[in-house]
Each structure stands twice: as C-alpha cells, then as structure tokens.
Structure 1
Amino acid sequence: MGAVKNKPGLQAPNQLFVRYSGVPVVYVESEEDYYIFGEWFKDQLSRLEFLAVNNRLGSSASGCGAVIEAVRTEVASGNPAWGIVDRDAVMSADRWDLVHEIDDSCFDSSLPFGQRVKVLRRWEMESYLVDGDLLEQHRSELLMQAPRSSAEVWGELLADCQALIPHAALNATHHDYKKSGLGDGCTDRFQDREEVESSFVENILISLEKHHLDCRDLYAQHLNQVAAFDTTEAPLEPRVQSLLRRVHGKAVLSRFKSRHRIRDDFRGLLAARIKTAGRVPEELSDFVQMAMNS
C-alpha cells in the first residue's frame, strides 16, 4: 500500500500531541482505511484523530468487531471515541434486515452498533473509490490513451456490478454456512453476469450441495435480494452507486484493473483524486463533523 501511505495529510507533525490532547479518536478497521481517511480529512487532523484499530494500545485485533469494542471500552472509560465500519459488518452480525435495506435513511437511522459507530452505506471502504470519471482519468493517463466517454465507463462499471451480483449472493450463502468467502478477483476472467453464472456459480453450488442440500434455494434468495439494489429505472451512475451498497467494491476495482491490465495499487491515487475533485462522500463528512463537535 505504498501508494496510499505517502500522503501529506498523514504527516501532520503534531499527531503525537493530538493523540493525547483530548480530541476525539475515530477508530477504523484497517491501515488502508486509515490512509484513505487521512487523505480525505487531512484538514481536520488537528481536531480529531483517525486510528487503525489494530494500532490501539494493548490490542492487535482488526476488523469491524474490534472497532465496535474499542469504541465501547473507550467511551466507558470517559474518552471521546467514535468508529467507522464497513456495511458488511451488519452481515457479520447477521442483521439481514439491514443487509437488504435499500433505503439510506432507514439504514442510517437503524444505528445497529450505537450512535458512535458509523456503518458505511456501501459494502466496504473501497466501494467509495469506484468513481467512473476518476478511474478513467487514471486509466487514460497510465496507458497514455484518450479518455473514453463518461457514459461508456459508467456502463462498463454497471456491467461489472451486475456480474458481481452472483458473487455477493454466493458470499452471503457461504456466510450462512459459516464458510470462508470467495476472493475479490475470482470473477475477473468472466465477461459478464451470464458467464459468471454459467462458468463459475454452478461449480460452487455443486460443491456446496454435497453438504448443504438447500444451498440452491438459499442462493436464489440471496441472488434476488442483491439484484434488488439495481434501480433499473435510474441513469447509469446512480445504478452503479446503488449496487455498490451490496456488491463488493474491491471486486469491482479488481475487474477494472484486470480488464485494463493495471498492475499498480491505485487506491491511494484514487483517494487523492476524489479529495481534489471535491467528491468525498457527504455521509462521511457529516459523521466526521459530528465527531469533531462531540
């Protein structure tokens, strides 16, 4: 993640002072999240601190559960603490009502882990890096090619999200059976949803069926629930953004990189481009402002 780490917002010289000066601490799931938030909110780093939860004193645990526990124990000790977790945290907690919730206002107001823990509307942090215009800017500059039209790029991303509907449904099925999830790059070689279903899904279901006779019915239920996030009446960009609430953002980026033969880890560059373009998600800016005012 070298491309992510070397960002000016993360080099504030007064961070040691800030950590112990009573400003709110916002725990995040990983080092990668820390670097992205540090880039997006570098102008606020004198008023709050982001901290990857595995760097918390006395703990090396990471992930959504560790963030929730860190906030709980810090607040109980009288320290100003907040947390941000991926939307997949509600699946980890078996809150299927929220996994399938399409309405943002209902999702936000549910507060499954309390008011101090922000649950992202999109599936994971990387889902916010799926910006068609900025991805295309990076691709065209890297490959020294003329940029494609916005409609072409967003159409390509929509096809990727649709191809990943079965991937998300299979991962939910695996979660139900307490099995490890499928990798983010496992659909890269398949062109579209039809090919994913015919050349990939069937093999997974055959394997699952050896021990779980109901797997096809369960998969079909999850498939319909994931597909419900495709707002077919909307323009391309809102359709992609809606599906990113449920399909895996890392897998979308993996498909884009594989198709265009991009080998660099461009997450840090995308985060910087989003900051420069003024496209930091409002839901995150609002949460950070609330934390600073606590």
Structure 2
Amino acid sequence: MMMSNGSFKNIGKEAIVPESTDGIKIYLESTDDQYILRNWFSTFNFYDKLSFESVSETRGDGGCRLVLKKVENSQLKAFGIVDRDILLADPNFKNSLWWEIDDEVFLSQKPYGEKIFVLPRWELENYLFHPQALASLVADKRLNTMTSAADIAKLLCDHEDDMVAITLLSTISPKRVGEQVLRDKSGEGLSEAILKQLLIQADVLESEQIKIKCFAENKQDPIERWQRLSRLLDGKRIMHRIDDLLFSGKVKLESERGALAGHIAKHKPLIDSALTNWLKDIYQSTA
C-alpha cells in the first residue's frame, strides 16, 4: 500500500515482504528503495510480475552486498538493484568503472553479472533531485517564489562547487566523515575546512573536484548540466545543501522523499529509462 504523505518515516519492518515463490524477485538495498520503486512502477504493465523486496531496513547495513548475496543464493527468479556507490567501496572498480562518464559504457559493463543492475547515479535518491520534482515541492510548500525547474536548476548549478566539495568527504575518505560542522561554510571556507578534516593537500582536493565536475560534460543548459553532474554527487550530503538553498532549512528533503518520488511517478519520462528498460527485459525474458 502506498503511503499518503511525503515521508518515509513510517516505512519499517512491516514493509519488508517475506520471500514468496511467485513472480520475479527484485532485491533492493533498503525499504526506502522499495517504496520508491513500487511507487514508480505500480502502473506499468509488467509490475504484477515483479516483487520488489528489501534486504535491509536502511542503507548502511551493508545493503548492497546483501543484495548480491540474496541474488546469488536464491533458488528463485531473482535479480537485484544496487547504488553506484558500491563501486566506490570495491577495489576492483573504484579507480575505473566508478569514474566512467558515458552511461552507455557504464551500463554495458555489468560488474556483478547480468542479474544485478548498478544505478548510474550515486544512489537511488539522486533521481529524486530532478529540478522538475523539486519545483513541484517548492510550489507545494509555498515558501519560495522560485517554482521554475529551470530557475531551480540554475540555483543548484550556481552552487555546484560546494556540492562537489562536500561529496569529496565520501570519495576521498575511506570512512564516512560527518559534514554537519561544515553546513554553514561555502566557497574557499568550505574547501579549507575539508582540507583540514581530510588531512590532504590542496592539489589533491582540486584534482578530485575536476574528476567529479567532468560528469557535467560541459553542458550549459542548467537542467541538463545538473542532471549530468548529480550522477556523481553524494545524495545524502547534498540533500542538506538543497534544503538550505530552496527552503532555508525550513523543509527537510529527508522527510519529503515520498513526495518527490510521487511527483516523478506522475511524470513517467522522469523515471530512469535505463532502469525501466532493464525491468522490461527481465519481464519479457522470464515470461
């Protein structure tokens, strides 16, 4: 059953469906992912044959690896979807496939086999930050006169250096480093604080920033640029920045992910086409 509000806070153990023997199992990292994908694909003609099942209540419990194990050990028709950041923690891919800019090349590699779909974006939540979905949320909250997707995309791109910088806390550090103490910093002040926190030299910081900004592919249109760049931005970290930019901290996107997912579900072209086609292929190949 779909939730009526925009929050994921009520999704818990009850959302983890016991494994059955019917249909096709699609294992996901968390109940948040489960909710998003059920929301997106519930009206597609192949949905009745798919069962989206979470392996964990939250990310951070090794969900990506649990997905791989579930698919490998299942005796059923089982597949899995994992976030791109699984590659960042994998020594076999963190210096190669993780940095692949071309989505077609990225998707063709299938590093964990044919049954595992690795999202081209950092995590599933990154898809929720489409400017059109954000514009809809801004309009609903009536806290900001900026309701144009293009204007919101421009604002995000104007602050992309800070988004990239805060992402470096994840790409450079082998363990997750908190960014709350950096919330009020931007520009050079943010870069200096990150240098101190990660104990690295300025040239290392600059080199890593360039690698991430390459994902914008020199696009000039704000919406297109944001869509390309945000593939390799740490979704949870930039969420706080977007909170401040669009809502001055009065609205927390963490509690509005359901609303964003719902808006995207109403506008099917916003749903990732590669993921949709992969699910269609599974449905057709196992019919």
TM-score normalised per structure 1: 0.80
Paired with 2:49 and 2:123, the residues of 1 have a C-alpha distance of 25
Q: CA deviation at 1:4?
A: 4.5
1:189 corresponds in structure 2 to 184
- The offset of 1:217, in angstroms, is 4.5
> How far off its partner does 1:144 sit?
5.9
| Structure 1 position 124, deviation (Å) | 0.8
Q: How far did 1:160 drift?
A: 3.6
Kindly indicate whether the alpha-carbon contact (under 8 Å) linking 2:8 and 2:257 is maintained by their aligned counterparts in 1. Answer: no
Task: State the 1:219 CA deviation.
Answer: 3.2
Q: 1:71–1:254: structure 2 CA closer, same or farther, 3 Å change rule?
A: same
Provide the rounded CA distance (Å) in 2 between the counterparts of 1:46 and 1:233. Answer: 39
Partner of 1:273: 263
Larger-Rg structure: 1
* Number of the residue aligned with 1:148: 147
Q: How big is the alpha-carbon RMSD for the aligned residues of Structure 1 and Structure 2? A: 2.8
Deviations 1:91-132 (A, max 9, x none): 111312111110011101111111111011111111100121
SS in 1 for 2:38: helix
* Structure 2: runs of 5+ lacking an equivalent: none
Aligned-pair identity (%):
25
Q: What's 1:72 paired with?
A: 72
Counterpart AA for 2:251:
I
Residue of structure 2 equivalent to 1:262: 251
User: Which ranges of structure 1 fall in alignment gaps of 5 or more residues?
Assistant: none
CA contact (8 A) 1:135 1:270 kept: yes
- Map residues 66-105 of structure 1 onto 2, 5 A cutoff: 66-74=66-74, 78-94=75-91, 95=93, 96-105=95-104
In 2, Cα distance between the equivalents of 1:51 and 1:62? 15
What are the equivalent positions in structure 2 for 1:128-167 lying under 5 Å apart? 128-143=127-142, 146-167=145-166
Counterpart selection for 2:191 from 201, 220, 240 = 201
CA apart distance, 1:227: 1.8
Q: Equivalents in 2 of 1:219, 1:208: separation in Å?
A: 10
Give, as a single letter, the amino acid of the residue that structure 2 aligns with 1:172.
T
State whether residues 154 and 240 of structure 1, in contact with CA within 8 Å, keep that contact through their aligned partners in structure 2: yes
Aligned position for 1:3: 6
Cα distance in 2 for partners of 1:289, 1:186 equals 44
Is residue 55 of structure 2 the alignment partner of residue 53 of structure 1?
A: yes
Asked whether the 8 Å contact 2:85–2:122 carries over to 1, the reply is yes
Aligned to 1:262, the other structure's residue is in SS state coil
Distance 1:143 1:34 in 2: 29
Deviation at 1:271, TM superposition (A): 0.5
Structure 2 counterpart of 1:52, one-letter code: S
SS at match of 1:50: strand
Q: CA deviation at 1:172?
A: 1.4
TM superposition outliers: structure 1 runs of 4+ over 6 Å? none
Alignment-mate amino acid for residue 238 of structure 2: V
Distance 1:221 1:144 in 2: 38
Counterpart of 2:6, as a letter, is: A
**Paired position in structure 1 for 2:176:** 180
Instruction: Show the counterpart of 1:244.
Output: 230
Q: Which amino acid aligns with 1:255?
A: R
Measure the CA separation in 2 of the matches of 1:205 and 1:61.
29
Contact 1:4 / 1:36 at 8 angstroms: preserved in 2? no
| 1:123 and 2:122 are equivalent in the alignment | yes
Match of 2:273 among 262, 269, 282: 282
User: CA 1:218–1:263 in structure 2 vs 1: closer, same or farther (change >3 Å)?
Assistant: closer
Amino acid at match of 1:90: L
